[in-house]
Structure 1
Amino acid sequence: MLLLVFLQRLFSFVSLAILGLAGWLLWRWYDAWHVAETLGLEEPSRAPLWWGAGLLAFSLLGRFPVLMLLGRGGATSPPRRAGGREVVGADGAVLNVELEGTADGPILLFTHGWALSARIWAEARAELGGRFGLAFWDLPGLGRSGRPPAGYSIEGFAEDLHAVIDSLPADRPLILVGHSIGGMTVQTFCARHPELLNNRVAAIVLENTTHTNPLETMLFSRVLKPMQPVIEVMSKVSTVVSPVIWLVNWQSWLSGATHLATRIAGFGARPTREQLDRTALLITKSSPAVQARGNLAMIHWSITGDLPLIDVPALVFAGGRDLITKDHAGETIAAALPQGRLVRVEDAGHMGPVEKSAFYNEQIEDFAGFVHLLASRAAAPSGRSFLSPDADLAPPAPAQEPGDRDAPTVPGMTAPRPI
């Protein structure tokens, strides 16, 4: 989410400048009016008053017209949260975990992107809960989870994920779903705990994520990668002045500047107003210090060399309009994973699981159904282990959305259902 955070900061300062200009115009008019009233002079022009009042109103209420312009109408799943329970993470952080959905069959365990929380999965809750068990958790320092005592790292998040897995019913196979940094966490967990693959963990789903330093797989990577030392210094400064940035971010949310940054960097197609507002609100709620420490963790991370060791059924989504994680990152992951299958969604941005949720979740439903069928076959008295690699079933066909060109085809795969 580095690009989104950068745009949010930029637009936040523009929004603050507009607020400052409004205050200056109002003061200028008041000062001129006071002098005229004191000396009995002609009343000054009210133009600064009207301009100042208009800019002040935009600074405090601009979110509403911005949402009307950038978002579309339409019914969306309202964000909600199930009753959470506390799980102690690997380093002592208290993690919020929520479990809902069916009482049997596979459990889809969702790990959200950075600066967000489990509230971002509103569409997945509504569209997948009727067939599978669903588990959601907040990464350390975000949502309802506490901050980690030992600091932030992708490896630490992976061990926290392990603790969450251990807290779930042991008799049900798990499918790990990770978006953005959540996908980085899932990959790291799989590389660190291969003994759980095709056993406790039946499959993984990676959504709009990368395999290395995000500065190398985002828009303008050739410019931003050489600036990594500067970005690191700015991130460390952000941890010191976090309260100030937090206040500025809230003013930016009120003015709609954060929504504009989120729309540009986060979405490829036009989201609903609720989806845009939900994403912008979660980003604003998250602590700038936490954001900065997570960003530092991401730019010092890579799993590229270990991808061939992650031998488990894997569905990999790549968005054609994703600016935060360019589609070639997903292509690299899918090609390197022994059982990786790529799904290209041409008009999806980084928030593809939200804006194109119907397609994402239908593909996940088909994939999870295949994994469950494979698990059932493996459990039969045939001498095979759980999800044995020599099983004679083929997964459903990951594909592009209907109408996309050059959808991949694999012998034995079935076609995806249309939206």
Structure 2
Amino acid sequence: MILFAFLQRLFALGSLAIFAVAAWLLWRWYDAWHVSETLGFVGPSNAPLWWGAGLMAFSLLGRFPMLMLLGRSEAGARARRADASEIAGADGSVLHVEQEGAAQGPILLFTHGWGLSSRIWAEARADLGSRFGLVFWDLAGLGRSGRATAGYSLDGFAEDLHAVIDSLPEDRPVVLVGHSIGGMTVQTFCARHPELLDRRIAAIVLENTTHTNPLETMVLSRVFRSLQPVIELACKLDTILSPALWVMNWQAYLSGSTHLAARLAGFGTRPTREQLDRTARLITKNSPAVQARGNLAMLRWSVTDRLPRIDVPAVIFVGGRDLITKDHAGEAIAAALPQARLVRVDDAGHMGPVERSAFYNEQIGDFAEFVRLLRSRPAALSRRSFLSPDADLAPPAPKDNERDDRPRPDLSAHPSARPI
């Protein structure tokens, strides 16, 4: 989310400047009015009052017109809470975990993107909970999880994920679903624990994620890669200035500047107002210091040379309008994994699992059904059959600008296959 962090900071400074100008205009009008009242002069012009009041209203209430402008009024799923528990992370930190959904069959374990929390998965909760067990957790330092006690790293996140997996019933297959840094966490976990693949872990789903330093796979990567020392210095400064930045970020949220940054960097289509506000709010609520440390961790990470070790059925989503993680990152992952299928959503941005949730969740649901059949009747289905040239998962017909670049297995003839 480094691109978003850059735009958020840029727009937040602009929003703060508007607030400062508004305060100066109001003070200027008040001072002139006070002097005129004291000395009996003719009252000052009210122009600074009106301009100051208008700019102040925008800096504190601009979120509402910005949502009207940038988002759709369409109603959708809203974030809700499920049965929650706290477990110990790998370093002893407290991890917030929520469980819901079906009591039988595969468990879908969701890991969110950086700066967000498990609240981002509202659509997945609504679409998939009736068919599968769902588990959501907050990465250390984000949402309701406690801060990491041993520092922030992808290896640490992967071991926290391991702790969450160990807390789940052993008799149910687990499908790992990761978005952005969540996908990086899933890849790191699988590379560190290949012995669990195809045993404890039945399959993985990677959404809009990369396999290396995110500066290498974002828009204008050459520019940002050359600026990596500056970006690292800025992240270190963020950890020092965190309290001031937290106040500034909330002012930017109220003004709608954070929503503009989220819309430009995160979404490829026009999201609903609730989706846009949810994304902006979650990023604003989380500590700037924690987010900066996580960004530093991403800049020092790569799993590229370990991808061939991740030998488990995998679905890789890429967004054609994703600026934070360009589609070639997902393509490289799909090419390197032994059992991967690429799903391209041409009009999705980095927040594709939110803005194009219906399509993403349809594909995940069909894939999880395949995993269910594969685990229950291994003799009937080859574990690699979903890669065969004439295979087809028989999903719902893709919507406009949505296509699947890899063939999938035909399950329709199987006696226990669920009609689509």
**TM class by shorter-chain length?**
over 0.9
Q: Structure 1, residues 3-62: CA drift from partner, whole Å, max 9, x if none?
A: 111111111111000000000001111112122222222221110000000011111111
Change (3 A) 1:109 1:411: closer
State yes or no: 1:403 paired with 2:388. no
Unaligned runs of 5+ in 1: none
**1:229 & 1:350 partners in 2: Cα distance?**
25
Q: Which amino acid aligns with 1:217?
A: T
- SS of the aligned residue for 1:10 comes to helix
Mapped to 2, the partners of 1:285 and 1:368 lie a distance apart of 33
Equivalences for residues 312-323 of structure 1 within 5 A? 312-323=312-323
Letter in 2 for 1:402: K
Aligned to 2:132: 132
Over the matched positions of the two proteins, sequence identity in percent amounts to 71
Structure 1-normalised TM-score?
A: 0.94
Q: For 2:377, what is the secondary structure of its paired residue?
A: helix
Could you tell me how far apart the structure 2 residues matched to 1:29 and 1:345 are?
53
CA contact (8 A) 2:112 2:138 kept: yes
| Equivalent-residue separation in structure 2 for 1:336 and 1:392 (angstroms) | 14
Q: Relative to 1, partners in 2 of residues 1:370 and 1:281: Cα closer, same or farther, differing over 3 Å?
A: same
**Residues 221-260 of structure 1 correspond to what in structure 2 (within 5 A)?**
221-260=221-260
Q: 1:151 maps to what in 2?
A: 151
* Paired residues for 1:7-406 under 5 Å: 7-378=7-378, 396=393, 401-404=398-401
CA shift for structure 1 position 110: 0.1
Shift of 1:392: 11
Q: 1:400 to 1:286 in 2, by over 3 A?
A: farther
Specify the SS of the correspondent of 1:403: coil
State the one-letter code of the partner of 2:253.
Answer: W
1:320 & 1:411 partners in 2: Cα distance?
21
Cα shift readout 1:198-222 (whole Å, capped 9, x = no counterpart): 1110000000000000001011111
The 1:47–1:117 alpha-carbon spacing in structure 2 relative to 1, beyond 3 Å, is same
**SS in structure 2 of the partner of residue 311 of structure 1:** coil
State whether residues 321 and 347 of structure 1, in contact with CA within 8 Å, keep that contact through their aligned partners in structure 2. Answer: yes
* Cα distance change on mapping 1:405 and 1:114 into 2, 3 Å: closer
Root mean square deviation of aligned Cα = 2.2
Match of 2:415 in 1: none
**Corresponding residue SS for 2:227:** helix
Change (3 A) 1:399 1:325: farther
How many angstroms apart in 2 are the aligned matches of 1:400 and 1:306?
35
**Equivalent pairs, count:** 412
Letter in 2 for 1:226: S
CA deviations 1:391-413 (Å, max 9, x no partner) are: 99956278994333875353755
Match of 2:5 in 1: 5
User: Secondary structure in 2 aligned to 1:284?
Assistant: helix
Deviations 1:361-391 (A, max 9, x none): 000000110111111112x7x9x9xx85689
CA distance in 1, matches of 2:82, 2:402: 39
Structure 2 CA distance for partners of 1:101 and 1:297, relative to 1, 3 Å: same
Aligned-partner Cα distance in 2 for 1:191–1:395: 28
Match of 1:99, SS state, is: strand
Change beyond 3 A, Cα 1:391–1:184: closer
What is the CA distance between 1:74 and its match in structure 2? Answer: 1.0
Task: Give the Cα separation in 2 of the matches to 1:401 and 1:20.
Answer: 49
The normalised TM-score by structure 2 is 0.94
